[in-house]
A and B are shown apart, each in its own frame.
Chain A
Amino acid sequence: MGLAIAIVVALITLISTGVFLSHHWWLPHAISTIAPALDRQFTVTFIITGIIFVVAQLALAYAVWKFRDTGDSRRAVYSHGNTKWELSWTAAAAILFIGLNLMGYQIWASVHFTGPEPGAMQVEVWGEQFNWYFRYPGPDGRFGPVHPEKMNAGIGNYLGLDRAHDADSKDDIVTMTLGVPVDREVDLTMRSKDVTHSFFVRELRLKQDMVPGLEIPIHFMATETGRYEIVCSQLCGLGHYKMRAFFQVMDQPDYDQWLAGQAAAQ
C-alpha cells in the first residue's frame, strides 16, 4: 500500500509537471509590451512553485513508503518536532513567497501606477448584455456626453449620444470591433451600461472589469498586427459565453483607412 501511494503520487506529480513543461497547453502568443515581463514573472513563479510541488509531493510519497508499518517490532521515533527546522522553513517560505510577489511589482506598476504615455490614443470600451461597443472621439479628440435615457439599440444609438445637440458627440465613432494601430499606446476607458463585464484579451495579457457607474482607465501597446478576440470574463448573464468582439491590430495606414470607413458608416 505504501509503495502504491508513493508510485501514484509520484506519477501524478511528474505527469502534471511534464504536461506543463511540454508547453502543449501554455500561455498563448503574446503581443503587448507588458507581456514579456509578465510571462517572465509567470515562468519564474512556475519554476519556483514547480520545484516546491515536486519536492513536497515526492517527499510525501517517500515518507509514506519509507515509514509504512511493515509489521516489525520497530517503534516510531518519539519527537515533538524541531524548533530550529520550524523556524528555518518559516523564514524560507516567507522570503520566497513575499520576494516573488515583490518581483512582480514592476509589471503591476507599469499597468496601473503609471498612466499612459502622452499622446496615447483614446478609446472608450462599453459592455452591455451581451455586446461590445467601442467609441473613438473623432478628430476633435473629445467624447460627447452619454444620455442613458437615449440609449436605443433599435435606431442604432447604442451609447445614447445626442449628435444633434452635443457638439463633442458629432464626430464620435462607435464601432463593434476594437481596431488599434500597432506600436501605439492606447488608453482605454472601461464602462458598462448594465451589469459588470470584464475586458480580456489573452494575447495582450490584459484583463479589467467594467463596472457600471465607474470609468476605469487601462492602457497598453500592441506590438504585432493581427486579429484577436476580446472575451467577457465576468459572469454577466445567459449570453456571457458569446459576449465576444474582435480586436484588430493594424499598421497605421490600414488603421486610418479602417477608421475612416467606420466614420462614414455612422
Chain B
Amino acid sequence: MADMHVAAVHAHAAPSGFFRRYIFSLDHKVIGIQYWLLGLLAVLIGMALSLLVRFHLVWPDAQIPLLHLLSPTGGKGDQMQPEYYLSLLTLHGTLMIFFVLTTVPQSGFGNFALPIQIGAEDMAFPRLNMLSFWTTFVGMVVLLSTFFISDGPPLAGWTAYPPLSAIGPATGPGEGLGQTLWIVSIAIFCVGSLLGSLNFIATTLDLRARGLSLMRLPLTCWAWFITAVLMLLSFAVLFAAGVLLLLDRVGGTSFFIPAGLVVSDQLVNHAGGSPLLWQHLFWFFGHPEVYVAILPGMGITSHIISTFSRKPIFGYKAMIYAMCSIGFLGFMVWGHHMFVSGMSPYSGFAFSVLTMAIAVPSAIKTFNWIGTMIGGKLRLVTPMLFAIGFVSLFVTGGLSGIFLGQPALDLTLHDSYFVIAHFHMVMGVAAIFGMFAGTYFWFPKATGRMMNETLGKVHFWLTFVGAYGIFMPMHYLGLEGHPRRYSTLTGVEFLNTPHLMHLHEFMTVSAFITAAAQLLFLYNLAWSWFKGPEAGENPWEATTLEWTVPSPPPFDNFAGRHAVVYRYPYEFSVPGAEKDYIMQDAVEEAKKKK
C-alpha cells in the first residue's frame, strides 16, 4: 500500500489494563463491538418476547412453563394475562426499535468501521464515545428493570400514546412505575444517541484522510453521516416530548391530558392538554427514526453489493442524493402516521403527497442495486446473500408503503396487521439483514478470523424464507381488517375463525423455525471467533481503507501511518488493471512514473 509518510511511523500500543482495554475503552473498535453485543443481547430478548407473543396468539389457553416466574401476576398459573401480552409487546417494540435498530447499524458498525474507512485513528471524541455507549447501556438496564417491579412493564406500546401513558396506574397494570421508567429509559437513550451523533458528524467532516474528499467517501460513511444528522435533529425532539410526558405523570402538569377525563368512573384532575400534541412530537422523531434504522443498512448493502459484484456501484452520486433526499423528506412526512388520528384531513393529504415523494429516492436505490449486479461477476458469499436478501425485503416492505401512504386506504388499513407487515419487512427484517450482512462482512476484520460459510449460508436460507413466512401472511390478515395489538382473537367474531387462525398458526411456526435458525448464527459466531481460519488483511478483495490494515487492526488503526486516498471507493474490474480491484490508497499510474 502506498505510504507517503515514511518518516515517523511508529505504532501506538493499546492500554494494557483489562478495564481500560475492554470495558471502559476509548477505542472506537472496542466501543463498536460493545454496541454490537448490547444490540445482540437486546435482539435476543426482543425475539424471545415476540415468540411468547406469537405463541399466545395461537394457543391462548396453553400454559407457558415458568411464565409465573417471569411475572407472578402477568403469568398467573403460567397463563399469559392480556395485560402481560401488551407489556411484552411494548418491550419487544422498544427494545427492537431503540436498542437494536438504532444501536447496531449506526453505533455498532459505524463506530467500528467509520474511522478506519476514513483513515482516522479514532473517532473525534473518544471519551464522549465511551460516554455514549455507557449511557445507552444504562438506558437499557432501566428499561429491562421494568420486568422486575411489582406492577410490571408498561402496556402502552412503543409509541406510548397519552392519555393511556400519561395518567398513571388507573389506566392499566404497568402504567405506574413501569411507564415512568420507560420514559426515563428513552430519555437516557436520547442523550446517548445525541452525544453519539455529534461525534459521528465531527469525525466524518474533520478527520478524513488526505485525499478523501466527500465524493470519494464509501457509501457506508455517507449513510452513517446522514443518519447521524437525522438522529441529532430527531432525538432532541423525542427527549423534549419525554420530558413533557414525565411532567404530566409526576409533576401534575397537563401538556397531553385533556379536561374531563373519566377513568373507571373517576374524574382525572387534569385540564386542557392535547393527546395529539404528543403524536406530533413523537412522530416528528418517529419517522426520521425509521430512516435511522434503515439508512445504515442501505449503506452497508450498497457497499457489499458493489464489492461482491466486482463492479463499481451503479450511480454513486445518485445513491448519495437519494439518501440525502430520504433524510430531508423524512422530516416532512410524520403526519402519515396520523391520517385517522383526528388531525386536520387537509394536512393529512399534504403529508400523503410528501410521503409518495419519499418513495422515489427509495425506488432509485433499488434500481441502482439491481443495476450494479447486472453485468457484474457475483461472488455469492454469505454477506452478499444477506445484502441480496435486504434488497428483496426492502422492495416487498417498501411497496406496501404505497398502500399505507394513501389516506383513503388507511381508512381500512391503519393499525391493522398490514401495518405490522409493512414496518417489519421494511425497517425490521430488512435492517436486520443489513446487520447480518455487515456482521459477516466485517467479522474477519474485527477478529482476524473468517466465519464459516456453510453455516452462514444455511443461516441465510432459513432466515430469508422464514422472514417471508412470518410477515407475508400479515398482509392478508390486514386486508381482512385484523386490528393490531389484540392479545387474543376470542373477543371478536370475525377474528375468531379458522380462516384467520390458519394464517396465525403458519406465522407462529415460521417464527419458531426462524428463531431456531439464529442459534446457527450464534454458534458460528462463537466458534469462528476462536477457531475460524485466519482472515488476513483483505479476504474479500475489497477496496476501502479498512482492508489496507491488518485484521484485527492495530490500536491506532494505521500503526502510525497516515493513509492517503487517491481514488473513488469502488474501483472494481477497471480495464487494464492487474487485478479486478484497486485499493483506494493505491497511487495512480501517472504519479508512479514520476
Say if the two chains contact directly (CB < 8 Å): yes
A19 to B376 CA separation, bound complex (whole angstroms): 34
Q: Are B408 and A41 in contact (CB under 8 A)?
A: yes
Q: Kindly state whether residue B173 has any CB partner on chain A within 8 Å.
A: yes
Interface residue? B67 (CB, 8 A) = no
Chain B window 245-272, contacts with chain A (Cβ cutoff 8 Å), 1 for yes, 0 for no: 0000000000000111111110100000
Question: Ordered nearest first, which 9 A-B pairs have the shortest CB separation?
Answer: A213-B258, A202-B481, A242-B491, A112-B345, A25-B476, A77-B375, A81-B315, A238-B83, A107-B408
Residue from B164, B316, B461, B477 in contact with A80 in the complex, judged by beta carbons closer than 8 Å: B316
Proximity bits, B75-116, A CB within 8 Å = 1, else 0 = 000000111001000000000000000000000000000000
Within the assembled complex, what's the spacing in Å between the Cα atoms of A211 and B263?
A: 14
Contacts of B461 in A (CB 8 A): 8
Contact B580 A75 (CB under 8 A): yes
The answer to whether B267 touches A148 (Cβ under 8 A) is: yes
Q: Are A194 and B258 in contact (CB under 8 A)?
A: no
28 A-B contacts, Cβ less than 8 Å apart?
A2-B378, A2-B380, A25-B477, A27-B479, A42-B409, A46-B403, A49-B403, A79-B311, A81-B371, A86-B368, A89-B364, A93-B360, A101-B352, A194-B264, A195-B263, A196-B161, A200-B415, A207-B415, A209-B340, A209-B342, A211-B341, A212-B258, A213-B261, A213-B274, A233-B416, A233-B483, A235-B157, A241-B486
Q: Which residues of A contact B (CB under 8 A)?
A: 1-2, 5, 8-9, 12, 16, 19-20, 24-28, 34, 38, 41-42, 45-46, 48-49, 52-53, 56-57, 59-60, 63-64, 66-69, 74-83, 85-86, 89-90, 93-94, 97-98, 100-102, 104-105, 107-108, 111-113, 128-129, 146, 148-149, 151-154, 160, 190, 193-196, 198, 200, 202, 205-209, 211-214, 216, 229, 231-244
Instruction: Give every chain A residue within 8 A of B261 (Cβ-Cβ).
Output: 148, 193-194, 212-213
Q: Give the contacting residue for A81; candidates B314, B340, B486; CB below 8 A.
A: B314
Given A38-B412, A53-B396, A208-B340, residue A241 in contact with residue B345 (CB < 8 A): no
Quick check: which of B204-212, B222-230, B552-560, B571-579 contacts chain A, the rest being far away?
B571-579
B370/A59 in contact, CB under 8 A: yes
Question: Roughly how many angstroms separate A12 CA and B477 CA in the complex, as a whole number?
Answer: 18
Q: How far is the CA of A151 from the CA of B268 in the complex (A)?
A: 12
Please encode chain B, from 302 to 321, with 1 for each CB lying within 8 Å of some chain A CB and 0 for all others: 00000001111111101000
How many angstroms between the C-alpha atoms of A129 and B264 in the bound complex? Answer: 8
**Partner of A211 from B157, B262, B342, B353 at Cβ < 8 Å:** B342
A64 to B576, CA, bound (A): 26
- In Å, the complex CA distance between A93 and B346 comes to 24
B407 within 8 A of A: yes
Bound together, the chains give a CA A76 to CA B83 distance in angstroms of 57
Among A1, A8, A52, A76, the residue within 8 A (CB) of B465 is: A8
Q: Is the CB of A76 within 8 A of B409?
A: no
Cβ A93 vs Cβ B363 within 8 A: yes
* Apart from A27-B481, A240-B486: 9 A-B pairs, beta carbons within 8 A: A69-B377, A78-B574, A94-B357, A97-B357, A101-B406, A207-B412, A213-B258, A231-B481, A233-B484
| Contact status of A45 and B406, CB under 8 A, knowing A28-B481, A67-B376, A75-B310 | yes
Q: A60-B392, A75-B580, A216-B342 are in contact. Are A233 and B407 (CB under 8 A)?
A: no
Residue-wise, chain B 392-433 has the 8 Å CB interface mask toward A (1 for contact) of: 100110011011011111111011100000000000000000
CB–CB B503/A56 < 8 A: no
* Docked CA distance A78–B527 (Å): 38
> Residues of A contacting B353 with CB < 8 Å?
98, 101-102
Closest to B384 in A: A64
CB distance from A161 to the nearest CB of B (A): 13
B566 at the interface (CB under 8 A from A): no
A48 partner residues in chain B, CB cutoff 8 A: 402
Q: Inside 8 A of A239's CB, which chain B residues have their CB?
A: 82
Question: Which residues of A lie under 8 Å from residue B82 when comparing CB positions?
Answer: 238-241
Q: Does B275 lie within 8 Å of A75, measured CB to CB?
A: no
B412 touches A205 (CB 8 A): yes
